[in-house]
Amino acid sequence: MTDTYLNLVNSGVTKKLAKQLGLPQPAPLRRHQPGQPLLDGPALVLGSGADADTLAALLAGGPGLGWDLDVHRHAVPDTRYAAVVLVLTEVVHPTELSAPVLAAAGVLKGLARGGRVVTVSREAVADDAPAVAAARQGVDGLLRSLAKELRGGATGNGVVLHAGVPVDAPSSVGALRFFLSRRSAFVDGQLLVVDSSAGTLPDDWDRPLAGRVAVVTGAARGIGASIADTLARDGATVVAVDVPAAGEQLATVANRVRGTALQLDVTADDAGARILEHALQRHGRLDIVVHNAGITRDKLLANMTPDKWDSVLAVNIASQLRINEALLTSGDFTDAPRIVSLASTSGIAGNRGQTNYAASKGGVIGMVRATAPLLTAFGGTANAVAPGFIETDMTARIPALTRQVARRLNSLQQGGLPVDVAETVAFLASPAAGGVVGRVLRVCGQNMVGQ
């Protein structure tokens, strides 16, 4: 769906008028296209110590990466940076944040449109000394606040390393690249924890899923169709799944991505077995399952009926639990498998009139957290993506004024697109995210107060 307001305030006389009136002026986001460079300008890596040196060397063209970025270790006057990477892993007291953070402050006004600010830090844990924990947790507040200050389509995100995970671990590097890239255009104000050194970096960053077979439920339209397109673009063979009533649209998607279609109600008792049987018979394996199928039946809880409550829980969470159980007990889902489930910001912050939907999406978050340890023995992961306001047929039915308000409530002052969710799913499904375990990554333009 087109955001007419965004187009108006970025062109011609209406752009000038909006500026004079002090109206929000969201910048069009720059999204990923295969073959484009990672950054359209130099990157500034700030921070002292071995970790900062290691990341600077990697970005400048480390072995096997081939990024070949123009990397500066100190700010050069009048330089328009495409990215600023703040390496804060060796900070052990809040006062040590001052030098690197204020050095970054000096270049923010000249940050390129669509620029990136990424912090790399350590996770604060209960065993830390008080000063260490204060410094590490301080990065969280710093990054989230900074992301709210950026303009021109720029974003701020953070890679948070669990104890013992080196800065050059595959998933550390993979997460950093994702946040630097245009794939993360609508991911803002997020801190992603890298839990382990697991994972592998792809030989081809444009086709990181080559040779993998992926199932996408709810694939006939909207976000599901975009996920199928994106996984196929990244090299995966896709099995597109949706209900029989959507058969024609499902076939169109499957043909477009050169995959196969499976007409199936995910709430069926044998849904997991049928998905696995189809993937093995048609493609010889199953590596990735994306639980995207979902419905809404919104009502205030005082007006909620059993059919509206039960149907949402059945599709949005009970079906995923049943399918996962079938996969995990099959013995055929063991080659570094990936489960990526669609949660929602409603499942984190709640939303009026969505108690059933929020319960189901909160359930998804709990499910991936508990499922992830069951997959680590096979080099697998389970994670969730939580979209905010995304421009879909569903949000197009929201009353016009409410829709406009919803679009402007995030730091990027616009709705996301289905491809923004798809890019994040593709990252979590990739080998480079093998060390991200049981986490939730929001795709919302930073749309909740305090997060």
Point out the residues that are catalytic: 357
Alpha helices by DSSP H, 319-391: 319-328, 346-349, 355-375
In 11-57, which ranges are E strands? 43-46
Element (H, E) at 340: strand 338-342
Do 225 and 203 contact (CB within 8 A), yes or no? no
From 252, 256, 262, 251, select the one nearest 231 (Cα to Cα): 256
DSSP for residue 315: I
105 contact partners, CB below 8 Å, separation of at least 6: none
Extended strands (E) in 165-323: 191-194, 213-217, 237-242, 260-263, 288-291
How many other C-beta atoms can be found within 10 angstroms of the C-beta atom of residue 94? 17
Measured distance CA(130)–CA(86) in Å, rounded:
22
Question: Tokens 């055929």 appear where?
Answer: 332
DSSP string, 58-72: HHTT-TTT-----EE
Cβ atoms < 10 Å from Cβ of 280: 14
Asked whether the beta carbons of 54 and 168 are under 8 A apart, the reply is: yes
CA distance 176 to 180: 6
Alpha helix stretches (DSSP H) within 4-49: 4-8, 12-21
Determine the Cα–Cα distance for residues 140 and 138; give it in Å rounded to an integer.
5
State the Cα–Cα distance between residues 65 and 22, nearest whole angstrom.
44
